[in-house]
Chain A
Amino acid sequence: MNKENTRCVITGLGMISAIGNNTEECWKNVLASVSGIDHTKTVDTENCYSDYAAEVRNSDWDNIKGTEGMDRVSKLCIKAVSEAMEDSGLSDFGGDERVSVIMGSCVGGVLSSEKYYTGEKKKELIPQMPISAIASQAAGFCNAGGSVTNIANACAAGTISIAYAADLIRAGKADIVVAGGADAFASVPYAGFTSLHALDSEPCSPFNHLSGITLGEGAGALIVESYEHAAARGAKIYCEVLGAGITSDAHHITAPRPDGECQMNAIRRAVSYSGLTEGDIDYVNAHGTGTAKNDEAEFLSLHTVFDGRNDDLSVSSTKAMTGHCLGAAGAVEAVFAVKALTENIVPPTLGFSDADLEVLAERAGKIDFCPNVPRKKQLNTVMSNSFAFGGNNASIVFSKGEGGCTLHNEKKRIAVTGLGIVTPAGNGKDKYIGSAGSFAPESADLRSAVGKEEYDECGLKMAFYRKLDRFSQLQTVSGMYALTDGGYEVKDENAADIGIIVGTSEGALSPVCDFEMLISEKGNANGSAFKFPNTVYNAAGGYLSICSGIKGYNVTATNGAQSGIFSVAYAMNVIRSGQEKAMLATGTDENNDIMRELYTGLGLASDTPTAPYSGSDKFVLSDGSTTLLLEDEASAKARGARIYAYATGCGAAHKSVPFGTISGSGEALDRAVLAALEDAGLKTGDIGAVVGFANGHKAVDTIETESLRRVFGSRAGELPIFSVKEKLGEARAASAALGAAHAALMLSGSIGCGDCFFIEENGNMRKGSAESDKLDNILVIAYGSGGSYCAVIISR
């Protein structure tokens, strides 16, 4: 790759939080030690032991054209994006395919869920509920045409978004990435943290009283840009984005590992990928939530990593000012870290009395926690840390210097060595091979079923699986199946060499809605500590890490149905960059009474069996989970793994249309396919078949066939198009991942090709059949609401 592309810089900042509507206001208040925490009046606090929150209290920011009707979380996000773009000297990107949008969030459009269940169940609220909407709407606002997704890793989401943005640039897949995170204060997180007794009854005081968090809200946005691109347009450069470390705890769904092992791994990875040593870090913007569990683990991690290697380290938590902004936290704190770096000022950690300072002195050792007031200090390199529910850890480094980023980008082939499949037709790869072809459902309401038999098969104990919501059940079973199928044993020595990307369209939206119904009936004082952890979209990936022992990369990506192969594309990037040797890439979505009500409300769930290309305006709602075990080819061969096929290319693109629709966005599919071909070093003539995404809804099906005709021209009619939805329905991300698994099974000869569709000259579809021995490369495509597309090429 080009040396120039290894340098990523920050060229724009934007934020909104309880202490200001923009970066300048927020930073001014940081320097004045102003806290945004106050008593909340926006949620029901009856019988709740704490009523503090750090909310964006005025509304004079909520006036951006085009955001009318969006959830508050998207409005907050777009406010920060708008500021960051202006700060960077950027405007409407004109659909530029070299511009991506990656946004983190924890609770997404939960206020829309709240309005829906406490009001008249207005259908226009439904598309605003999932996290998926945020990046898509932000991409619409700035008119970005590249890869668009949301990172749904709860409190680490903002940091991971920036890390992934830099990875995309280093992989040569983008010149500019608008990255960050957003979350809005709402009853669900408030009641949830109340039920966990994790809220401080007073304003939170990180690294001090260890008595809980105070929730905040807001958004942070950073323009992450290749140095080359920034320099060519004469952009103002704040700093470099160096390495980032992302790991998972394999420990507990809400509590961090008390031994800090994987937090430390994240910090050490970030330092090492930056080409630096611990002694080079001048300041850490810590996660520092204020809970005993977090802060004690973090004290331990910071001391263990830095003591004796760095005697001049400053650490602070800005959450005493902004509250804990959840999925926005990492983004807001990255903005603060960059401001600290460029202005040579360490932000303070508020809330220490004289007596507290004495206790702090004992805990702090040589680390300066910068209590109460900011401190001037020459800063050359800073770090920002975020740790999340699900056991996710993320650490990122910003610097004035170029560093020596050790991440690379080898366009190597990636082996598909294991498959885990859960569908309404049955569970397990063999069951899929044996019966999916003859599965003939009479209903248009398809649901997968996993239970004791599957848990026993996967070695999962009741003490573990009793906690799982259904989305997590589907995900853990398919994930464990993939490891078993691939003969991949996770042991202490390789646990950090394997990671997870969960792809999902709606993620934990059902548990969110279920929790919302509970508290809207019983009040915020009566949420469920048992149910709340499952409302975070990354719970399923967290549970998979816990039961498999995987301690590497762990990200949940969500942007519509395409997320199920976007996970494959993301995982390929992680392996190619050298961050992991193996990855589980998944697609999981569920159909239950809540999802069925929402899809019926949107007029999309069919009551009768509906075939792809049938010209309907509905589809068969289904669910399931498919996991692919992807491995660095050399590693797979070294352990003698069976290789089904190779993932050789991936591409993603976006053409904004209103979230909840896709018509008019088809040209982005063309670009995603062409990008995947280029990535694989193939031409259209090399593609022997397609696994499509048609589901029976005319708008969806038309985009697929028209795009294939444009991209493949006269060859389009010869291309067999396979459908995993014809028998198994529309399972969104699960269908997309199953499409990739199906392609791998066909190429390995494990499954015959058989029935498929062909495009006739007039654009109609005819049924036919195809021979597998003619196939070398299969194109797998998927769509996402709002105009996001992904394409992956699976090769023999």
Chain B
Amino acid sequence: MTENEIKAKLKEFICSTLGVEPDVLDYDTELFGENAIGLDSVDSLEIIAFVDGEYGIDMTGVGKEHFFNIDSIAAYITENK
């Protein structure tokens, strides 16, 4: 699976499961904090569970810079596959 396919899959997951509207979510959009997307620690648990289930990569305790946007999550997955 290419990194772009991973990004597409992550975006699909974030939109369908975490209720984010696709038109405001680009791969470089900041995910967490007081912004338009506003993901929080509960959402990060869902992302961790998804990444573990989908790619077998455990992101528990991984630095928050890797959760910055879809690009950085996908990069972490690619590096650790």
Contact = CB atoms under 8 A, between A and B. Distances in A.
B18 A530 contact: yes
A369 B20 CA distance: 44
Q: Which of B37, B41, B42 has the most CB of A within 10 A?
A: B42
Interface residues of B, number: 19
Given A529-B49, A530-B46, A464 B38 contact: yes
Nearest to B42: A529
Nearest to A530: B46
A774 to B, nearest CB: 49
A476 to B, nearest CB: 14
Contacts of B42: 196, 254, 529-530, 533
Given A530-B17, A530-B18, A463 B46 contact: no
Interface string B28-45: 000000111110111101
A180 B38 CA distance: 38
Contacts of B1: none
A27 to B, nearest CB: 37
A463 B35 contact: yes
Contact of B45 (A197, A252, A465): A197
A747 B31 CA distance: 49
A421 to B, nearest CB: 25
Interface residues of A, number: 19
Contact of A463 (B17, B37, B45): B37
A196 B45 contact: yes
A461 B49 contact: no
B62 interface: no
Contact of B49 (A195, A252, A466): A195
B46 A528 contact: yes
A462 interface: yes
B21 interface: yes
A592 interface: no
Contacts of A463: 34-38
Interface in A188-204: 195-197
Given A195-B45, A254-B42, A530-B42, A462 B36 contact: yes
A462 B20 contact: yes
A526 B48 CA distance: 12
A229 interface: no
Contacts of A303: none
B49 A462 contact: no
A412 interface: no
Contacts of A529: 42-43, 45-46, 49
A467 interface: yes
Nearest to A527: B49
B63 interface: no
Given A252-B40, A461-B38, A466 B19 contact: yes
B79 to A, nearest CB: 24
A461 B18 contact: no
B74 to A, nearest CB: 20
Contacts of B43: 529-530
A464 B46 CA distance: 17
Contacts of B37: 462-463
A529 B17 CA distance: 11
Contacts of B45: 195-197, 529
Nearest to A468: B19
A195 B41 CA distance: 12
A530 B34 CA distance: 18
Interface string A517-537: 000000000101110010000
A259 to B, nearest CB: 16
A195 B47 CA distance: 12
Nearest to A252: B40
B61 to A, nearest CB: 11
Nearest to B21: A462
Contacts of B21: 462, 466
A478 B45 CA distance: 31
Contacts of A468: 19
Given A466-B19, A466-B20, A526 B49 contact: yes
Interface string A443-467: 0000000000000000001111111
Nearest to B34: A463
A526 B52 CA distance: 11
Contact of B19 (A197, A254, A255, A467): A467
Contacts of A528: 17, 46
A212 to B, nearest CB: 13
B11 to A, nearest CB: 14
A512 B42 CA distance: 18
A255 B53 CA distance: 26
Nearest to B44: A529
B36 A461 contact: yes
A468 B53 CA distance: 24
A254 B40 CA distance: 11
Contacts of B41: 255
Contact of A466 (B18, B34, B53): B18
Interface string A530-548: 1001000000000000000
A467 B41 CA distance: 13
Nearest to B45: A529
Closest 7 CB pairs of A and B: A463-B38, A466-B19, A529-B45, A530-B46, A529-B42, A529-B46, A462-B21
23 contacts: A195-B49, A196-B42, A254-B42, A461-B36, A462-B20, A462-B21, A462-B24, A463-B34, A463-B36, A463-B37, A463-B38, A464-B38, A466-B18, A466-B19, A466-B20, A467-B19, A468-B19, A526-B53, A529-B43, A529-B45, A529-B46, A530-B17, A530-B43
Interface of B: 17-21, 24, 34-38, 40-43, 45-46, 49, 53
Given A529-B46, A530-B17, A530-B42, 16 more contacts: A195-B49, A461-B36, A461-B38, A462-B21, A462-B36, A462-B38, A463-B34, A464-B38, A466-B19, A466-B20, A466-B21, A467-B19, A526-B53, A528-B17, A528-B46, A533-B42
